[in-house]
Amino acid sequence: MRAPDRMREAVNVSGRPFWDDEIETMTPDARRRLEDERLGEQIAYDYATSPYYRSKLDEAGVRPGDVRGVDDLAAIPFMEKTEVAASQADGTLLGVNQCAPLDRIVRIQATGGTTGQPIRIGLTRRDIEDYGEMGARALWAMGCRPGEVVFECMNYNLYSGGLSDHLTFETLGAATIPFGVGHSERLLTMMSGLADPFGIWATPSYAVRLAEVARGLGLDPRAVGLRKGYFSGEAGLQVPGYREKVEELWGMVARDQYGTGELGLHSGECEALDGVHYGGLGFAVAELIDPDTGDVLPFTEGQRGEVVYTSIRREASPLLRMRSHDVMQVFTEPCRCGRTSWRFRVLGRSDDMFIVKGVNVFPLAIQTSLMTLAPQLTGEFQVDLDRPPPIDYPVPLTVEVDPDVPESRREALTRGVVERLQRDVNFTADVRLVGPGTIAAEGKTRRVIRTYRGEDR
Which residues of this protein are in contact with Zn ion, per CB under 5 A?
A: 270, 272, 335, 337, 339
Q: What is the arrangement of strands in the sheet containing 429-434, beginning at the earlier edge strand? A: 429-434, 395-401, 377-384, 448-449
Residue 391: DSSP 8-state: B
Cβ 277 to Zn ion shortest distance, Å = 6
CA distance 372 to 241: 8
- Please report which residue ranges of 289-395 form alpha helices under DSSP H: 363-371
Q: Which helix (H) or strand (E) holds 330?
A: strand 322-331
For Zn ion, which is the closer residue by CB, 254 or 421?
A: 254
CA distance 341 to 18: 12
Helix (H, G, I), strand (E, B) or coil at 163: helix
Helix/strand/coil percent split, the chain, to 5: 35, 25, 40
Cβ 31 to Zn ion shortest distance, Å = 16
Cβ 342 to Zn ion shortest distance, Å = 11
Cβ 337 to Zn ion shortest distance, Å = 3
CA distance 80 to 74: 15
CA distance 357 to 393: 9
Q: How far is CA 67 from the centre of its chain?
A: 29
Cβ 146 to Zn ion shortest distance, Å = 20
Cβ 141 to Zn ion shortest distance, Å = 7
CA distance 297 to 287: 8
- Please report which residue ranges of 287-436 form alpha helices under DSSP H: 363-371, 410-424
Cβ 13 to Zn ion shortest distance, Å = 19
Residue 78: DSSP 8-state: P
For Zn ion, which is the closer residue by CB, 337 or 431?
A: 337
165 burial via Cβ count (<10 Å: 0-12, 13-18, 19+) = buried
| Axis crossing angle, helix 28-49 with helix 51-60, rounded to the nearest 10 | 110
For Zn ion, which is the closer residue by CB, 25 or 376?
A: 25
Cβ 275 to Zn ion shortest distance, Å = 8
Cβ 270 to Zn ion shortest distance, Å = 3
For Zn ion, which is the closer residue by CB, 23 or 365?
A: 23
Rg over CA atoms, the chain: 23
For Zn ion, which is the closer residue by CB, 70 or 272?
A: 272
For Zn ion, which is the closer residue by CB, 268 or 379?
A: 268
For Zn ion, which is the closer residue by CB, 44 or 272?
A: 272
Residue 343: DSSP 8-state: E
Cβ 101 to Zn ion shortest distance, Å = 40
For Zn ion, which is the closer residue by CB, 17 or 77?
A: 17
Neighbouring residues of 175: CB distance < 8 A, sequence distance ≥ 6: 147, 148, 149, 150
For Zn ion, which is the closer residue by CB, 184 or 341?
A: 341
For Zn ion, which is the closer residue by CB, 4 or 338?
A: 338
Cβ 186 to Zn ion shortest distance, Å = 37
CA distance 17 to 4: 17
CA distance 148 to 150: 6
53 burial via Cβ count (<10 Å: 0-12, 13-18, 19+) = buried
Length of the chain as a residue count: 457
Determine contact, residues 207/234, Cβ cutoff 8 Å: no
For Zn ion, which is the closer residue by CB, 245 or 339?
A: 339
